[in-house]
Amino acid sequence: MPQCILNIALDTPLNACFDYRWPCADGARPQVGQLALVPFGRREVVGLIVGVADTSTVPADKLKDALAVRGQLAPLSPQWLALAGFAADYYQRPLGEVALPGLPKNLRVLTTVALDRAIKKLAKDASVHDGTPLDMPRLNEAQQRAADAIGGARGFAPTLLYGVTGSGKTEVYLQACAQVLAREADGQILILVPEINLTPQLEGNIRARFPGVMLATLHSSLSEGERMLHWLAAHEGKARIVLGTRLAILASLPHLQLIVIDEEHDPSYKQQEGLRYSARDLAVWRAWQLGIPIVLGSATPSLESWHHAQSGRYRKLELRERAVKNAVLPRVKLLDMERDRPKDGLTSHLVAALKLRMERGEQSLLFLNRRGYSPVICCESCGWISNCTRCTSFMVLHKPEHRLRCHHCSLELRIPRHCPTCGNVDLQPLGRGTQRVEEGLQQLFPEARILRIDADSTRRKGSAQAAFDSVHRGEVDILIGTQMVAKGHDFKKLTLVGILNPDTALFSQDYRASERLFAQLMQVAGRAGRAAQSEGGSVSEVLIQTRYARHPLYDAVVNHDYDHFAGALLEERAQAALPPYLFQALLRAEAPELATAIAFLQAAQACLAHPAITINDPIPMSMTRVHNVDRAQLLVESASRPALQAFLKEWLAALRDMKSRVKWSLEVDPLDI
């Protein structure tokens, strides 16, 4: 029987391609990019064929047979394999660990029942594949120019679409998409968005606009069956528009012609565990590899993208005005909490503004990025506070559930009846979360319809969507929420945004904190006044309660002045030699004792030197202990990306050889340091 050797990538942390034997009758060989079921240890697993050969360097008696090849699925394209290969290389992970988790779970199980079902279902689908759009609204001049530039671009053309909130970036994307769909007979488009809770609105818009085009969504709240079907629709080229969150960047799209990244500055494009990739950065690489245009849109671009736009690497398109006629940017005002002392967390000025909106039947939004009732409870007689026993953090009071919860290790306790140290029964909440603000509002405005939206109020599947729908239907007077409410939503009746307590981020040790705070404030401010101002209606306002009213960051927010602010930040970064002028990687280690983690990092620091690389001293992470594990980190820096990449490769090999029991991981281009 003629046979061949399959080199197969498996999802294992070790380096990770193995040879298997496969009988090929009639000379028909499996192809690179197909999936195969193979024995591995005592298990059977699905791997990805990355090589087919006649011989193996593994001795014949050690070779095992592959069990099955998933012949019903078209092979993943060489371009897709190259993308996975690049990600593996760049983020210093084995190929199998990148390529396989990016596939639907149902493709990686022992049976092909789910795959066969999805194939059958798709075969029945008689999509018309007609890209003719319906009801294209007229664009303003700046929008039209942007849509034409993006839709008409050929070859690798990265574009930064810098448009103020409410300037109609979505409409620009849709019309650029229409041009691409009309021009490229099979062309596919990938649209990435940061949050799942933004997808339904955009999904509806796309479906309404392109009724003849199959749209597939890819995000983490799909069922496995849906995910299989949608992934397959993209892989077979049937879905011409794929809309997804960061994981969709690894979708198989054989006819990809355009990539759109909405809110490109958003930190959620960065995966924060396992393969810590940046979907935005991978998207730019993917566009470059395929020689296709990519557009990165934002009202507050990341400094990395802004830097590229300034240096001419990206083309910059600007939308400086709101798209809706007579809709203007809200007036931003600072409320000095030193002068106007807040009661129940609200200054008298903010209360008056809320009252005015109530009287006029307009909506208000209060933004506080802290969920729970209060971040800590304390005993005023002995000074006890509700620390988490497992983490360097506090137990947060959740009053409606009568619980203390640690947001880092999920430890949950009943609220103690008395102080565990001195027995005092009068324990006090300290500080203010969304639940407490909600309670205060209910007392202030007993007649108001108040809705809180945060991770606690939206645990059930679909509840976030239901909550947002009720805001859109006008059933809510005052909305209070965390960053969940800050992004994307287009609340037509909203004319007031109040921002509570943003000051803490001003003094963070993280050099990215001010960039993030600015983006967040501009995003949430941008929820106000998106519709045309009605006769006699309120001027839309954003009120920021602060103790540091003279801080330059607030100055920039008041003036809607991203350009100037970004310019100043970039100058600071250049002077301090920080990204984007420097490239970084972070080695993290965790152990039951801090000393163990530090000792490992010291050994790592000493084991390899390179003239173009700076290896900083190990330090404990700012939140050192989580779930009874101590964590430390070591920052590696270089002015040269290739030098850093070359160093990391060699360094990782040395670290693996150390065979330490300490759990460690490496992150390239870390966001949180």
Nearer to Zn ion, 78 or 383 (CB): 383
629-638/583-591 β-pairing: antiparallel
CB atoms within 10 A of CB 626: 18
Q: Using CB under 5 A, count the residues that bind Zn ion.
A: 14
Nearer to Zn ion, 273 or 657 (CB): 273
Q: How far is CA 416 from the centre of its chain?
A: 37
Nearer to Zn ion, 143 or 393 (CB): 393
Amino acid at 61: D
Nearer to Zn ion, 114 or 629 (CB): 629
Work out whether 419 is an interface residue with Zn ion (CB under 5 A).
Answer: yes
Instruction: Measure the CA–CA gap between 552 and 572, rounded to whole angstroms.
Output: 14
Looking at 108, 316, 390, 399, which residue binds Zn ion (CB under 5 A)? 390
Least distance CB 627 / Zn ion (angstroms): 6
Work out whether 408 is an interface residue with Zn ion (CB under 5 A).
Answer: yes
Q: How far is CA 540 from the centre of its chain?
A: 29
Looking at 49, 299, 353, 391, which residue binds Zn ion (CB under 5 A)? 391
CB atoms within 10 A of CB 272: 11
The residues in 45-74 that bind Zn ion, with binding defined as CB under 5 A, are none
Work out whether 421 is an interface residue with Zn ion (CB under 5 A).
Answer: yes
Least distance CB 411 / Zn ion (angstroms): 5
Nearer to Zn ion, 109 or 411 (CB): 411
Work out whether 427 is an interface residue with Zn ion (CB under 5 A).
Answer: no
The angle that helices 641-657 and 594-607 make with each other, rounded to 10 degrees, is 120
Instruction: Measure the CA–CA gap between 466 and 459, rounded to whole angstroms.
Output: 12
Instruction: Map tokens 């949050």 to a residue.
Output: 195
Query: Which stretch in 41-49, 57-65, 117-125, 406-414 sits in contact with Zn ion by CB under 5 A?
Result: 406-414
- Known binding residue 382? Answer is yes
CB 509 within 8 A of CB 619: no
Work out whether 388 is an interface residue with Zn ion (CB under 5 A).
Answer: yes
Nearer to Zn ion, 384 or 511 (CB): 384
Residue 489: both structure tokens together: 């939503």
What is the per-residue binding string for Zn ion in 365-384, x denoting contact by CB under 5 A?
Answer: --------------x--x-x
Query: Which stretch in 23-31, 217-225, 417-425, 634-642 sits in contact with Zn ion by CB under 5 A?
Result: 417-425
Instruction: Measure the CA–CA gap between 87 and 35, rounded to whole angstroms.
Output: 19
CB 81 within 8 A of CB 35: no
Bin 384: left if φ > 0, else alpha if -120 < ψ < 50, else beta: beta
Instruction: Measure the CA–CA gap between 639 and 583, rounded to whole angstroms.
Output: 6
- Known binding residue 391? Answer is yes
Name every residue whose Cβ is closer than 8 Å to that of residue 653 and which is 6 or more positions away in sequence: none
Least distance CB 628 / Zn ion (angstroms): 9
Query: Which stretch in 122-130, 220-228, 412-420, 568-576 sits in contact with Zn ion by CB under 5 A?
Result: 412-420
- Known binding residue 419? Answer is yes
Residue 491: both structure tokens together: 């609340």
Cα 408 to Cα 46, 54, 260, 269, 394, distances in angstroms: 34, 52, 33, 21, 9
Looking at 28, 113, 422, 654, which residue binds Zn ion (CB under 5 A)? 422
Query: Which stretch in 46-54, 405-413, 583-591, 615-623 sits in contact with Zn ion by CB under 5 A?
Result: 405-413
- Known binding residue 379? Answer is yes
Nearer to Zn ion, 258 or 391 (CB): 391
Work out whether 424 is an interface residue with Zn ion (CB under 5 A).
Answer: yes
Cα 484 to Cα 105, 470, 480, 487, 494, distances in angstroms: 28, 15, 10, 7, 16
Query: Which stretch in 70-78, 350-358, 414-422, 602-610 sits in contact with Zn ion by CB under 5 A?
Result: 414-422
CB atoms within 10 A of CB 136: 12
Nearer to Zn ion, 261 or 388 (CB): 388
Least distance CB 414 / Zn ion (angstroms): 16
Work out whether 413 is an interface residue with Zn ion (CB under 5 A).
Answer: no
Instruction: Map tokens 């705070």 to a residue.
Output: 517
DSSP character at residue 236: T
Bin 344: left if φ > 0, else alpha if -120 < ψ < 50, else beta: left
Nearer to Zn ion, 500 or 626 (CB): 626
Looking at 10, 406, 494, 553, which residue binds Zn ion (CB under 5 A)? 406
Work out whether 404 is an interface residue with Zn ion (CB under 5 A).
Answer: no
Instruction: Measure the CA–CA gap between 91 and 71, rounded to whole angstroms.
Output: 31
Least distance CB 373 / Zn ion (angstroms): 17
Query: Which stretch in 27-35, 275-283, 351-359, 421-429 sits in contact with Zn ion by CB under 5 A?
Result: 421-429
CB 88 within 8 A of CB 270: no
Least distance CB 437 / Zn ion (angstroms): 24
* Helix/strand/coil for 467: helix
∠ CA 122-125-128, nearest 5°, is 130
Work out whether 403 is an interface residue with Zn ion (CB under 5 A).
Answer: no
Nearer to Zn ion, 219 or 631 (CB): 631
Feature table: binding site for Zn(2+)? 379, 382, 388, 391, 406, 409, 419, 422
Contact residues: Zn ion, CB under 5 A: 379, 382, 384, 388, 390-391, 406, 408-409, 411, 419, 421-422, 424
Feature table: binding site? 379, 382, 388, 391, 406, 409, 419, 422
